[in-house]
DNA sequence: CCATGTCCTGGCCACCCGGCCAGTTTCGCA
DNA sequence: TGCGAAACTGGCCGGGTGGCCAGGACATGG
């Protein structure tokens, strides 16, 4: 093997739609310099396609709610968020309440999970 | 459009490593039946490759801890988790405590976020 | 000018959470 | 056979969380 300048790029597939996965697998199997990962093999990159029907409408969050949400995702308590943003704990609770409402969540943990799922925040 | 048997599959690239992104773009641009997404275009699938140096060691979680963690990610309270798993709230707290410890988290929200980041769970 | 929306604040309160103490059982492994 | 790891349970308690009430400031736009 020595100096194979065109080292293969290993790709893995994580696609919900079996038909799409199949078509891609066929197409990609014929590309030189590229290979699909064997089961358990570590890939250089992953082809993902999650069910798109999940995020039709994006949530309308105010800037302040996004601020609070971001800090929540870092595991900050209401008190820490209040200090960070220079506002009172009551106000933080107010925004958290709005977030739980808009994100249809039962608690702050659920809220960041939902937000992450919908791409509102990046973990 | 009726029956275009060779409907193009649109792929988008989200790759941290510019070199890898380049090589892939070149390779894929020559594949028939496949096309890279234009900026802003909605792709059928995405090729992702995040910095791998982020997850060297995976966390050793027991089966029970994984059970609890999964329910936590659903926003379940300790009481709900207890009911779901048929154990006492005290035991749930016990496992949650271990999770906070192992995941180096300050609270359940932080724990879920960390676990998701490390790929321990899927949101 | 007033309605609406966002942001901000306060008090009150039931409940939840996480950390501390303690203990039991069951399992596999040395 | 003893020993540790995992799982499970209990009580206690300070602090956090979320829901409810109420209010004020400020900007946008009808």
| Interface contact flag, B23 A45, Cβ < 8 Å | no
Task: Please name the residue of chain B whose CA is at the shortest distance from the CA of residue A106.
Answer: B75
Identify the weakest region by mean pLDDT among A5-9, A80-84, A114-118, B52-56: B52-56
Beta bridge partners of B72: none
- List chain A residues with CB under 8 Å of B27: 9, 31-34
Maximum mean pLDDT: which of A84-98, B9-23, B47-61? A84-98
- CA distance linking residue B76 with residue B63, whole number of Å: 18
- List chain A residues with CB under 8 Å of B24: 9, 34, 45
Q: Which residues numbered 40-69 in B keep a CB inside 8 Å of some CB on A?
A: 42, 44-49
pLDDT band at A19 (very low <50, low <70, confident <90, very high): confident
| Interface contact flag, A33 B44, Cβ < 8 Å | no
Asked if the C-beta of B33 comes within 8 angstroms of chain A's C-beta atoms, the answer is yes
pLDDT computed for residue A83 by the predictor: 95
Residue B43 structure tokens: 């792709």
Q: Look at residue A68 and tell me whether its pLDDT is greater than 90.
A: yes
Question: Tell me: the pLDDT tens digits for B27-68?
Answer: 888 888 888 888 777 788 888 887 655 444 567 899 999 999
Q: Are B36 and B8 in contact (CB under 8 A)?
A: no
**Average pLDDT for A24-28:** 87
Residue bearing the bigger pLDDT, A120 or A69: A69
Measured from Cα to the C1' atom, the residue closest to C8 is A91
Q: Which residues numbered 1-30 in B keep a CB inside 8 Å of some CB on A?
A: 9, 11, 15, 20, 23-24, 27-28, 30
Maximum mean pLDDT: which of A18-22, A59-63, B37-41, B83-87? B83-87
- List chain A residues with CB under 8 Å of B47: 11, 45-48
Residue bearing the bigger pLDDT, A36 or B87: B87
pLDDT computed for residue A5 by the predictor: 54
Asked if the C-beta of A72 comes within 8 angstroms of chain B's C-beta atoms, the answer is yes
- List chain B residues with CB under 8 Å of A116: 113, 116, 123
Q: pLDDT exceeding 70 applies to what percent of chain B?
A: 88
> What is the CA B1 to chain-centroid distance, rounded?
36
Residue bearing the bigger pLDDT, B72 or A5: B72
Q: Look at residue A76 and tell me whether its pLDDT is greater than 70.
A: yes
Dihedral sign of CA atoms A14, A18, A24, A26 in order? positive
pLDDT band at A52 (very low <50, low <70, confident <90, very high): low
Whole-prediction pTM value?
0.79
Nearest to A118 by CA among A65, A47, A51: A51
Q: Are A79 and A36 in contact (CB under 8 A)?
A: no
Residue bearing the bigger pLDDT, A38 or B2: A38
Q: Strand C positions with any atom < 7 Å from protein CB? A: 6-11, 16-20, 22
pLDDT computed for residue B74 by the predictor: 96
């Amino acid at each position: 093997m020595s100096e194979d300048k065109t080292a293969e790029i290993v790709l893995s597939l994580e696609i919900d739609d079996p038909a799409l996965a199949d078509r891609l697998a066929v197409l990609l199997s014929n590309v030189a310099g590229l290979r699909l990962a064997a089961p358990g093999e570590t890939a250089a990159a992953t082809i993902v396609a999650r069910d798109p029907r999940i995020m039709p409408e994006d949530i309308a969050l105010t800037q302040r709610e996004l601020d609070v949400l971001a800090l929540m995702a870092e595991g900050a308590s209401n008190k820490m968020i209040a200090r960070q943003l220079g506002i009172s704990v009551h106000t933080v609770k107010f925004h958290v309440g709005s977030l739980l409402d808009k994100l249809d969540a039962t608690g702050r943990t659920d809220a960041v999970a939902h937000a992450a799922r919908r791409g509102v925040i990046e973990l």
